[in-house]
Chain A
Amino acid sequence: MVSTILNASLQTLYMVFFSTLLSVIIGFIPAVILTLTAPDGLRPNKPVYEVLSFLVNVFRSFPFIILLVIIIPFTRFVAGKSIGTTAAIVPLTVSAIPYIARVFETSLRETDPGVIEAARSFGANDWQILFRVYIKESIPRMLNGIVLLTISLVGYSAMAGTVGGGGLGDIAIRYGYQSYNTDYLIICSVILIIFVQAVQMLGNYLYKKLS
Chain B
Amino acid sequence: MLEVRDLRVEYLSPKGPVRAVDGVSFSIGPGEVLGLAGESGSGKSTIAHALMRVLRPPAIITGGEVLFKGKDVLALAETELEDFRWQDISMVFQSAMNSLNPVMPIGDQITDVIIKHKKVSKKEARARAAELLDIVNIDKKRLNSYPHELSGGMRQRVVIAIALALNPPLMIMDEPTTALDVVVQKEIMQQIEQLKEKMGFSILFITHDMSLMVEFSNRIAIMYAGEIVELAGARELFENPLHPYTQGLISSFPPLTGPKHKMVGIPGSPPNMAEPPTGCRFHPRCTACQPVEKVVKPKLQEVKPGHWLAYHPGMPGLNVNGI
- Is B one of A's binding partners? no
Interface residues in chain B, defined as those with a beta carbon under 8 Å from any beta carbon in chain A = none
Interface residues in chain A, defined as those with a beta carbon under 8 Å from any beta carbon in chain B = none
